């Protein structure tokens, strides 16, 4: 039976869970994860402590608890349970208080997804922008874009654009490079006014063919020789036009986004 | 001058930065954040250490370093700098090794955005699904949806759907409730086959009117009385049809997603 891991937070618990996940993935074991979000009162802390103790009895072993509760009293309630309690916040906040010679404000639910902030509004606006400027749908207000991705169909432009918008409030447009462009030997006209914002994505033709075949099996669009042609032409065009680019073949949208943020010097905080 | 904070990671540094951000937001201070991703060799660790020491000299104070490096040798290089080094991984991994009576595998870049996993492919597939099923665009393969959001236009359905897809690989479709539906007094027909998957979003009419006015200033669509009418009708319909719903007025997509995951019992790990 896999060890039970509770992730207790006064907010959504998303930051805590992502972090706990990174740590747990260092072990070649399976874990049973129980996320307990919105623990923002003593009542809820006591209810959580009961759940933890019940798991300890039932499984006859100490559960593991990651907590990012900011409230000291609630944290103490958890520390009274039959569990290995790892306090993700206080471990770092106490040394920081010493170093900075200042007290932390013990504010709950900060730093992640607060809907009533300017930062949050910017993210939602960026998502709307990226959706409206997906796949070359619109040239309107392209000047507002922070970055414009170009690349052949299915090279990863759309998910990368949405990820940058959602996580960083980056207004990311994207434009497909299509056979028409290759025949003309030129980028889509609308892009020439925004060359400094262009960023290319390319992809291994064999992988591209696989991806396109899932969408349109047996089509010319998905055929290996067509994919090779499009990718070659797109790369040649990006080289000719001096557009920075990278290959998405083995890269996740997180990895592409991190590289792009460094390149376009738009390195912003996630929220 | 704000203290400089380095966030050093062997991967994208996104998990580390999100977590550091939560911790730093507990202080009413400004910080200068420097993210140093992809530190996956001794050479890069030494180069990072030089940067940290240069900052210490220039600013005449110890920088703060958050590291999630898994490699012990590289971590030691950072610990030799003139900085307060907070080791986010080892702080938790060592007690876990004891508790679980097993060694961690010290694998780099795990747990976040690895493009070559089944989990990652599911996320990309979910993004494509959610885009194809945005705003009632398609009834095809609605049976594959994990959740179908309903609500008036601009109640937050699209960003929430995309967030669930991107972070959790949840296939989230969404359907607008429009005046035609209210006149008929019925949900869009296609939805009756999937009632158990429906989840409603509502919003305060005054806030809705503000949001719609940004899009279409002075329109009937954005008028306060129209927004009140639509929201009332939508809420009445959701009540009548027994659809669970929540208000997005003061909730971020993270908060909505967390609640929805609990409701639909689809609580999955983020990565």
Q: What is the mean pLDDT of residues B216-244?
A: 96
The pLDDT assigned to B271 comes to 36
Q: Write out the two tokens for A252.
A: 């996740």
Percent over 90 (pLDDT), chain B: 65
Q: How far apart are CA A137 and CA A146, in angstroms?
A: 17
Q: Is B269 a residue whose pLDDT tops 90?
A: no
B196 within 8 A of B253, measured Cβ to Cβ: no
Q: Is B265 a residue whose pLDDT tops 80?
A: no
Q: In what order do the strands lie in the sheet with A64-67?
A: A32-36, A4-8, A64-67, A84-87
Helix (H/G/I), strand (E/B), else coil: B247: strand
pLDDT digits (tens, 9 = 90+) for A88-147: 887 888 888 888 888 887 665 545 557 778 888 899 999 999 999 999 988 888 999 999
| Closest Cβ–Cβ partner in B17, B255, B258 for A270 | B17
The pLDDT assigned to A70 comes to 85
The pLDDT assigned to A108 comes to 54
Count how many pairs of residues, chain A against chain B, have C-beta atoms within 8 Å: 200
Q: Band of the pLDDT at B108, cuts 50, 70, 90?
A: low
| Closest Cβ–Cβ partner in B25, B29, B134 for A100 | B29
Contacts of A50 (CB under 8 A, 6+ apart): none
Q: Is B268 a residue whose pLDDT tops 50?
A: no
The pLDDT assigned to A263 comes to 81
Q: How far apart are CA A216 and CA A7, in angstroms?
A: 42
Give the mutation candidate from B26, B128, B261 for the A interface (greatest A CB count, under 10 A).
B26
pLDDT digits (tens, 9 = 90+) for B139-188: 888 999 999 999 999 999 999 999 999 988 999 999 999 999 999 999 99
Binding-site annotation: residue ranges of B for ADP: 151-158
- Apex A76 CA angle, A74 and A79, nearest 5: 120
Helical ranges in chain A per DSSP H:
14-24, 42-59, 72-79, 90-100, 118-132, 157-168, 179-184, 205-215, 224-240, 253-263
The pLDDT assigned to B107 comes to 61
The pLDDT assigned to B94 comes to 83
Under-50 pLDDT residues of chain A: 110, 267-271
CATH architecture designation of domain A4-100: 3-Layer(aba) Sandwich (3.40)
Nearest partner of B36 among B9, B14, B60, B65, judged by Cα: B9
The pLDDT assigned to B28 comes to 84
The nearest alpha carbon in chain B to A91 belongs to: B91
**Chain B within 8 Å of A88 (Cβ-Cβ)?**
yes
Q: Is B80 a residue whose pLDDT tops 70?
A: yes
Give ranges for CATH 3.40.50 in chain B.
Answer: 4-100, 118-263
Give the mutation candidate from B19, B127, B172 for the A interface (greatest A CB count, under 10 A).
B19
Taken in order A20, A21, A24, A26, the sign of the CA dihedral is negative
Q: Is B270 a residue whose pLDDT tops 70?
A: no
Tell me the CA distances in angstroms from B262 to A76, A175, B259, one per residue in order: 26, 37, 5
Helices (H) and strands (E) in chain A, counts: 10, 8
The pLDDT assigned to A104 comes to 82
The pLDDT assigned to B220 comes to 95
Helical ranges in chain B per DSSP H:
14-24, 42-59, 72-79, 90-100, 118-132, 157-168, 179-184, 205-215, 224-241, 253-263
Q: Write out the two tokens for A210.
A: 């696989």
The pLDDT assigned to A267 comes to 45
What does pLDDT average to over chain B?
Answer: 89
The pLDDT assigned to B14 comes to 83
**Chain A within 8 Å of B31 (Cβ-Cβ)?**
no
Q: How far apart are CA A235 and CA A203, in angstroms?
A: 10
The pLDDT assigned to A265 comes to 63
Element (H, E) at B35: strand B32-36
- CB interface of A with B, residues 92-131, below 8 Å: 92-93, 95-96, 99-100, 102, 104-107, 110-116, 120, 124, 127, 131
The pLDDT assigned to A28 comes to 85
pLDDT digits (tens, 9 = 90+) for B23-56: 888 888 889 999 899 999 999 999 999 999 999 9
- Apex B203 CA angle, B202 and B208, nearest 5: 130
The pLDDT assigned to B230 comes to 97
The single residue listed with the structure tokens 């060359």 is A195
| Closest Cβ–Cβ partner in B105, B113, B269 for A252 | B113
Beta bridge partners of A245: A200
Taking domain B118-263, whether its CATH number is 3.40.50 is answered by: yes
B91 within 8 A of A89, measured Cβ to Cβ: no
Cα A222 to the center of its chain, rounded Å: 29
**More confident: B209 or B15:** B209
Other residues' Cβ atoms within 10 Å of the Cβ of residue A64: 24
Q: In what order do the strands lie in the sheet with A147-151?
A: A172-176, A147-151, A198-202, A245-247
Tell me the CA distances in angstroms from B193 to A73, A265, B184, B190, one per residue in order: 48, 48, 18, 7
Nearest partner of A197 among A137, A121, A124, A141, judged by Cα: A141
Output the CA torsion B73→B79→B81→B84 (10° steps): 150
């Amino acid at each position: 039976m896999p060890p039970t891991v509770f992730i207790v937070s006064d907010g959504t618990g998303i930051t805590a869970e992502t972090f706990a996940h990174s740590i747990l993935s260092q072990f070649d074991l399976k874990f049973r994860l129980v996320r307990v979000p919105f623990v923002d009162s003593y009542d809820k802390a006591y209810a959580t402590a009961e759940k933890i103790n019940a798991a300890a009895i039932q499984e006859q072993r100490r559960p593991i608890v990651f907590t990012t509760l900011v409230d000291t009293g609630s944290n103490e309630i958890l520390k009274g349970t039959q569990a290995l309690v790892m306090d993700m916040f206080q471990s770092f906040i106490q040394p920081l208080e010493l170093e900075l010679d200042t007290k932390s404000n013990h504010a709950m639910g900060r730093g992640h997804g607060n809907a009533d902030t300017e930062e949050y509004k910017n993210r939602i606006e960026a998502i709307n922008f990226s959706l409206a400027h997906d796949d070359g749908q619109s040239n309107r207000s392209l000047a507002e874009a922070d970055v414009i991705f170009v690349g052949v169909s299915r090279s990863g432009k759309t998910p990368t654009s949405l990820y940058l918008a959602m996580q960083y409030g980056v207004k990311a447009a994207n434009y497909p490079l299509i056979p028409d462009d290759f025949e003309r030997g030129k980028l889509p006209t609308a892009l020439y006014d925004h060359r400094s914002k262009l960023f290319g994505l390319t992809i291994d033709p064999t992988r591209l063919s696989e991806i396109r075949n899932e969408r349109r099996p047996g089509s010319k669009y998905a055929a290996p020789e067509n994919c090779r042609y499009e990718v070659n032409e797109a790369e040649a065009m990006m080289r000719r036009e001096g557009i920075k680019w990278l290959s998405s073949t083995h890269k996740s949208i997180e990895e592409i986004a991190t590289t792009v943020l460094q390149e376009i010097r738009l390195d912003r905080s996630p929220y």
